[in-house]
Structure 1
Amino acid sequence: MKQFFIRIRTFYSTLQSKIAFYPSLISLAGFMFALAMIIAEKEGISRNLIEVFPLLVVEDGDTALSVLSTCIGGLISLMVFSFSMVMLLLSQASSNFSPRLLPGLISNKRHQIILGVYLGTIIYNIFTLFSIETSEEKFTLPGFSILLGVIFSIICLGAFIFFIHNISQSIQINNIMDGIYDQATKKLNSTINRENKTETKTIETFPDTGNWHSHTSPKSGYFQNIATQNIINICKEKDIKIYITVPKGLFVLKNIRVLKSDKKLDNETVNAIFSNLNFARGEYIQDNYVLAFKQITEIAVRAMSPGINDPGTAINSIDYLTELFALRMQKNDLGVFSEKGTAYIKMAVVHFDELLYQVMASLRTYCSQDPTVAQKLIWMLAYLKQQPSIEKAYMEAIDEELKVLLKVVSFDSEKDMKTIQKLADNILET
Structure 2
Amino acid sequence: MKTKLVNLYQKIRSSYWFLPSVMAGMAGVLAFILVKLDLLNAQSGLIDLSWISLTGAAGARAILSTVASSMITVTGIVFSITIVTLSLASQQFGPRLLQNFMRDRGNQVVLGTVTSTYLFCLLVMRTVSDAPASPFVPHLSVLAALLLAILCVGVLIYFIHHVAESIQVTNVIAAVSRELSAEIERRFPDKFSEAVGAREIDYALEELLPARFDEEVRSLPALSGGYLQAIDHAGLLELAVDRDLVIRIGHRAGHFIVAGAPLVEVWPGTAADGEDLVKAVNGHFITGQKRSQEQDLVFLIHELVEIAARALSPGVNDPFTAISCINHLGAALCDLAQRIFPPILKKDAANRVRVVSYPTTFDRIVAASFDQIRQYGRTNAAVSIRLLQTIRLILPFTCYPEQRNALLHQAAMIERGSRDGLPEESDRRDVHAKYLAVFETMETCFGLTGGD
TM over 0.5: yes
User: Are the aligned partners of 1:333 and 1:349 in contact in 2 as well (CA < 8 Å)?
Assistant: no
**Which residue number in structure 1 is paired with residue 252 of structure 2?**
247
| Structure 1: gaps (5+ residues) | none
Pairing 1:55-204 to 2, within 5 Å after superposition: 55-135=51-131, 140-193=136-189, 200=200
User: Are the aligned partners of 1:225 and 1:279 in contact in 2 as well (CA < 8 Å)?
Assistant: yes
Q: What percent identity do the matched residue pairs reach?
A: 19
- Inter-partner Cα distance in structure 2 for 1:230 and 1:201: 22
Q: Deviations over 1:287-324 (max 9, x none)?
A: 31101111101101111212222111111000011122
C-alpha deviation, 1:184, in angstroms: 1.9
Q: Deviations over 1:246-272 (max 9, x none)?
A: 111011010110111222233323322
- Inter-partner Cα distance in structure 2 for 1:135 and 1:74: 27
C-alpha deviation, 1:214, in angstroms: 1.1
TM-score (norm 1): 0.90
Whether 1:353 and 2:363 are equivalent positions in the alignment is yes
More divergent stretch after superposition (355-364 vs 287-296): 355-364
Whether 1:377 and 2:377 are equivalent positions in the alignment is no
Q: Deviations over 1:153-195 (max 9, x none)?
A: 1111111122122212111112212221222222222221379
User: Are the aligned partners of 1:216 and 1:256 in contact in 2 as well (CA < 8 Å)?
Assistant: yes
Alignment counterpart, residue 334 of structure 2, candidates 326, 333, 336: 326
**Which residue number in structure 1 is paired with residue 284 of structure 2?**
276
User: Are the aligned partners of 1:58 and 1:143 in contact in 2 as well (CA < 8 Å)?
Assistant: no
In structure 1, what residue type is equivalent to 2:9? Y
**Which residue number in structure 1 is paired with residue 449 of structure 2?**
none
More divergent stretch after superposition (313-322 vs 397-406): 397-406
- Inter-partner Cα distance in structure 2 for 1:313 and 1:382: 20
**Which residue number in structure 2 is paired with residue 302 of structure 1?**
310
Secondary structure (helix, strand or coil) at the match of 2:142 reads: helix
Whether 1:221 and 2:226 are equivalent positions in the alignment is yes
**Which residue number in structure 1 is paired with residue 319 of structure 2?**
311
Pairing 1:199-214 to 2, within 5 Å after superposition: 200=200, 206-207=208-209, 210-211=214-215, 212-214=217-219
Secondary structure (helix, strand or coil) at the match of 1:193 reads: coil
C-alpha deviation, 1:342, in angstroms: 4.5
More divergent stretch after superposition (94-103 vs 397-406): 397-406
C-alpha deviation, 1:199, in angstroms: 8.7
User: Are the aligned partners of 2:347 and 2:354 in contact in 1 as well (CA < 8 Å)?
Assistant: yes
Whether 1:427 and 2:423 are equivalent positions in the alignment is no
Whether 1:18 and 2:25 are equivalent positions in the alignment is no
Secondary structure (helix, strand or coil) at the match of 1:56 reads: coil
TM-score (norm 2): 0.86
Q: Go from structure 1 to structure 2 and tell me whether the alpha carbon gap of 1:7 and 1:111 turns closer, same or farther (over 3 Å shift).
A: same
User: Are the aligned partners of 1:121 and 1:153 in contact in 2 as well (CA < 8 Å)?
Assistant: yes
C-alpha deviation, 1:24, in angstroms: 1.5
In structure 2, what residue type is equivalent to 1:328? L
Whether 1:292 and 2:292 are equivalent positions in the alignment is no
User: Are the aligned partners of 2:129 and 2:136 in contact in 1 as well (CA < 8 Å)?
Assistant: yes
User: Are the aligned partners of 1:225 and 1:277 in contact in 2 as well (CA < 8 Å)?
Assistant: yes
Q: Deviations over 1:212-262 (max 9, x none)?
A: 221001111111112222222222222222111011101101011011122
Q: Deviations over 1:54-106 (max 9, x none)?
A: 42344511111111111111111111111111111111111111111001111
- Inter-partner Cα distance in structure 1 for 2:100 and 2:257: 22
C-alpha deviation, 1:398, in angstroms: 1.7
| Structure 2: gaps (5+ residues) | 443-452
Alignment counterpart, residue 401 of structure 1, candidates 391, 406, 410: 410
Alignment counterpart, residue 417 of structure 1, candidates 422, 428, 433: 428
User: Are the aligned partners of 1:337 and 1:346 in contact in 2 as well (CA < 8 Å)?
Assistant: yes
- Inter-partner Cα distance in structure 1 for 2:243 and 2:189: 28
User: Are the aligned partners of 1:49 and 1:144 in contact in 2 as well (CA < 8 Å)?
Assistant: no
C-alpha deviation, 1:137, in angstroms: 8.2
C-alpha deviation, 1:275, in angstroms: 0.9
C-alpha deviation, 1:39, in angstroms: 3.9
C-alpha deviation, 1:136, in angstroms: 5.9
More divergent stretch after superposition (21-30 vs 410-419): 410-419
Q: Go from structure 1 to structure 2 and tell me whether the alpha carbon gap of 1:333 and 1:151 turns closer, same or farther (over 3 Å shift).
A: closer
Alignment counterpart, residue 30 of structure 2, candidates 14, 30, 33: 33
User: Are the aligned partners of 1:333 and 1:352 in contact in 2 as well (CA < 8 Å)?
Assistant: no
In structure 2, what residue type is equivalent to 1:235? A
